[in-house]
Chain A
């Protein structure tokens, strides 16, 4: 069974601080997705990375896929209250169309 460990589980920070969320596995993934979910809503796709070592930026968010495609990180610069939510990483399996999800990181940004 492929597992994706996400850390930290909870993060409460002040507006303006930086933070990093990690997803790690002993398995190789064909792709890695990051989602953000607000209470009562479905997860919304932020980014998909498919190449080892790939870095993608989305405004203040920077996503990195590890060289060996076993891990990924999400870095937020100068966090804002609007960044509050549940962040989920998901790894695409080498064969088939399913994803393996991390348990999620609950982020709270206080103003």
Chain B
């Protein structure tokens, strides 16, 4: 079974703090993704990566950055957290050519106060 693991399930951070969300996958997938999910807005793509050290902006990259130093790990960084970044964050991975099928982690609930 594909396993996508997000390091933190629940976080509470203060406005202005730097926040790291870590994600690891164990299936040697080339592609990794970060989404946020908000009521009424559905899943929105923040950033994705198709190879080590490669990244591309998704639909809502503002206020976020990412890092992919190793194939299995994809980190989402909030340089200066704001209250409008309170959300559920979902990491996912996929293998190139596998019908675009992506596999999600369990999610990280971030509250910025």
Instruction: Describe B's contact surface by its main secondary structure.
Output: strand
CA distance A31 to B104 in the complex (A): 17
**A42-B106 contact in complex given A97-B31, A97-B48, A101-B42, C-beta closer than 8 Å:** yes
Most buried by A among B100, B101, B103, B109: B100
Q: Is B96 an interface residue (CB 8 A)?
A: yes
Q: Is A13 an interface residue (CB 8 A)?
A: no
User: What are the interface flags for A8-47 relative to B under an 8 Å C-beta threshold, 1 for contact and 0 otherwise?
Assistant: 0000000000000000000000110101000011111100
B107 touching A40, Cβ below 8 Å = yes
Number of cross-chain contacts by CB at 8 Å: 55
Contacting residue for A42 out of B94, B101, B104, CB 8 A = B104
CA distance A13 to B102 in the complex (A): 30
Query: Shortest distance in angstroms between B70's beta carbon and chain A's nearest beta carbon?
Result: 19
B107 touching A31, Cβ below 8 Å = no
Tell me the count of chain B residues lying within 8 A, CB to CB, of chain A. 23
B42 touching A41, Cβ below 8 Å = no
Tell me the count of chain A residues lying within 8 A, CB to CB, of chain B. 23
**A92-B100 contact in complex given A40-B107, A40-B109, C-beta closer than 8 Å:** yes
Contacting residue for A102 out of B42, B99, B102, B103, CB 8 A = B42
Q: Is A7 an interface residue (CB 8 A)?
A: no
Q: Is A61 an interface residue (CB 8 A)?
A: no
User: What are the interface flags for A70-111 relative to B under an 8 Å C-beta threshold, 1 for contact and 0 otherwise?
Assistant: 000000000000000000101011000111011110000000
Q: Is A48 an interface residue (CB 8 A)?
A: yes
B109 surroundings in chain A (CB, below 8 A): 40
Q: Is B45 an interface residue (CB 8 A)?
A: yes
Contacting residue for A45 out of B45, B103, B105, CB 8 A = B103
Chain B contact residues, CB within 8 Å of chain A? 4, 30-31, 33, 42-43, 45, 48, 50, 58, 90, 94, 96, 99-107, 109
